[in-house]
Chain A
Amino acid sequence: MNVLESVRIAVRALAANKLRALLTMLGMIIGVSAVISLMSVGRGAQAAVTERIQGLGTNLLFVRPGSTQQAGIRGGQGSAQSLSLEDAQAIAEQVPEVSGVAPEISGFAQLVANGQNWSSRVTGTTEDYPEVRNFNVASGDFFTRQNIDGRSRVVVLGSTVAENLFGDLDPVGESVRVSLSGRPGSTFRVVGVMETKGGTGFGNQDDQVFVPLSTYHTRLAPARTVRGSYQVSTINVQVSDAAVMQDAVQSIGGVLRQRHRVNQDDFTIQSQEDFLQTAAQVTGIMTVLLGAIAGISLVVGGIGIMNIMLVSVTERTREIGIRKAVGAKRRDILLNFWSRPRWSACWAD
């Protein structure tokens, strides 16, 4: 007896037991679709997280100050006031792999305008920030080189801030009073409003305002490094190509070490890749977890089929006897009992 005959017998047996075949298939269908759907949910989550991190800008490096150590007391990561505006300029000029640099420093301030007030983060940065961070204005303009050189009192509002201070009104051209805690405030003219970006896992980017870096240092908070230059808290560096990221990290490290003349690095360079890897690990664990759950349901479905097959063998011992009496070999019987669940499983898939 060949396989074709066996398949024919199996199909007929399935047709004779429609409900059982259906239930058997259902076990398989649920199991397999659970695996497929949960795996794709996991993949989807991974893609979404990756997309969010990519949304910060592409090929980004974040240069941050290292920790401080004063009389044996060590501060946390980023507590050193070692990065300066000149460091940023040096990176832009001396590292060929770099395509854009946006230094920034921020502090918390009370904003007053239009009879409303709102506490938010004030970020001093340069005109390259929108391009480097892939974060653009929705209305009006970002401030320009001239604004920085002239230390203009202009401000670009994040969408959350604009909404809280001005509601439905267009804030461009209006005035906002900005005062960092413990300092006298000054009045800024709104030149633009940023697009809505949403959270990225690093705080809400929409809940901040941007001012020129020079204005921040001269009018809001004259933060200086130990060497007396204007201090920045982070230098956002955009690298021209993902392939030269590692080279860029090396070069930037070299420039800063030379400039700071230190033995031990007083800065850290984090790349977007690090965030991506961490996120990929987390979502990878999620995918495995979901896959395991789905796998269990598939195994349960499989055991269901085994159970039904066992019952069908038991109840068909008589039929096996008859088939053997008319000359069926072991192989024929096995083929017969094999092809049936095979068919169920095939159809289920």
Chain B
Amino acid sequence: MSELQSDARVPPVIRIRHVTKVYTLGDIEVHALRGVSLEVQRGEFVAIMGPSGSGKSTLMNTIGCLDQPSGGSYELDGVEISGLEDDELAAIRNRKLGFVFQTFNLLPRIPAIEQVELPLLYAGAANRRERALAALTSVGLADRKGHRPTELSGGQQQRVAIARALVTEPALILADEPTGALDTRTSEEIMALLQNLNLTKSMTVVLVTHEPDIAEHAKRVIQLRDGLISSDLLVEQPRQARDVLSGAAS
């Protein structure tokens, strides 16, 4: 699978073995995942691609602990997920995962700083305001902390969402089409932000996209087809969003 050297002492962030997922729609059984095995090490930047119906949303939901697999095992950061209760899953999502969605999914009418604070609130953490402000600063929005989602541009909203994802210092940031609702330039800015987090903080990022342009930013690209992994390749020279941006500026 992965050709990165795996350190035996540090468990992989994601270890999926023969995961299957079957949905029952009326009388019909839909096999969304037919036995996927996958390992992602700390500090990786993985893009998952595939046409619609390939099972990438299902895989995403499984990795994100939003859904339980029908079969197989899934360890997130050394913790076995399958068989956990709803509330235990919620705690795992809170501590180990940060989500970035296509439609930003910020809460309406709440200022940016409190959006970012929300996961800390549910975690019962201390120094919430300071940590939230630090996260907002790291996405370059410290001066927008009092703004509500309606007062922010799409790119800014997505950066607030990224700040919310990274504020708990999760093991994994899971981005589901994070640039799907943004224009090209803003998309590059978001990708630059994610790459920077991956580079400077060794944050593990899993990105789901169907845009090859976006997938090129990842260090590793996984293709899904009909519920199975059809290819798993390392990218020699990931596209650097920062260079793209400075090139576009000049």
Contact = CB atoms under 8 A, between A and B. Distances in A.
Contact of B118 (A2, A12, A321, A326): A326
Nearest to B164: A326
A1 B121 contact: yes
Interface string B57-85: 00000001010000000000000000000
B122 interface: yes
Contacts of A1: 121-122, 124
Interface in A101-144: none
Contact of B122 (A318, A319, A321, A329): A329
Contact of B93 (A5, A318, A327): A327
Interface residues of B, number: 24
A332 B94 CA distance: 13
A331 interface: yes
A7 to B, nearest CB: 13
Q: Is the interface of A mostly helix, strand, loop or mixed?
A: helix
A327 B117 CA distance: 12
Contact of A322 (B86, B87, B105, B109): B105
B107 to A, nearest CB: 6
Contacts of A326: 93-94, 99, 118-119, 122, 164
B34 interface: no
Q: Is the interface of B mostly helix, strand, loop or mixed?
A: helix
B91 interface: yes
B101 to A, nearest CB: 8
A325 interface: yes
Nearest to A322: B105
Contacts of B107: 319, 322-323
B165 to A, nearest CB: 8
Interface in A330-347: 330-332
Contacts, number: 53
A328 interface: yes
Most chain B CB within 10 A, of A16, A325, A332, is at: A325
A167 B87 CA distance: 88
Given A1-B122, A5-B121, A332-B122, A327 B108 contact: no
Contacts of B110: 12
Most chain B CB within 10 A, of A12, A324, A327, is at: A327
Contacts of A323: 107, 118, 122
A319 B115 CA distance: 12
Contacts of A327: 90-91, 93-95, 119, 122-123, 168
- Chain A interface bracket (under 10, 10 to 19, 20 to 34, 35 or more): 10 to 19
A184 B91 CA distance: 106
B87 A330 contact: yes
A263 to B, nearest CB: 83
Contacts of A318: 105
Interface in A282-328: 318-319, 321-328
Contacts of A331: 87
Interface string B207-218: 000000000000
A325 B93 contact: yes
Nearest to B95: A327
Contacts of B66: 325
A305 to B, nearest CB: 22
A345 B195 CA distance: 50
Nearest to B168: A327
B110 to A, nearest CB: 8
Interface in B12-67: 64, 66
B47 to A, nearest CB: 21
Contacts of A332: 122
Nearest to A6: B121
A332 B120 CA distance: 13
A318 to B, nearest CB: 8
Nearest to B128: A5
A180 to B, nearest CB: 88
B93 A329 contact: no
Contacts of B124: 1-2
Q: Which 7 A-B pairs have the closest CB atoms?
A: A327-B94, A326-B119, A327-B122, A329-B87, A329-B90, A322-B105, A327-B93
16 contacts: A2-B124, A5-B121, A12-B110, A16-B109, A324-B90, A324-B93, A325-B64, A325-B66, A325-B93, A326-B99, A327-B91, A327-B93, A327-B94, A327-B95, A329-B91, A330-B90
Interface of A: 1-2, 5, 12, 16, 318-319, 321-332
Given A5-B121, A16-B109, 11 more contacts: A1-B121, A12-B110, A319-B108, A323-B107, A323-B122, A325-B64, A325-B66, A326-B122, A327-B122, A328-B122, A329-B91
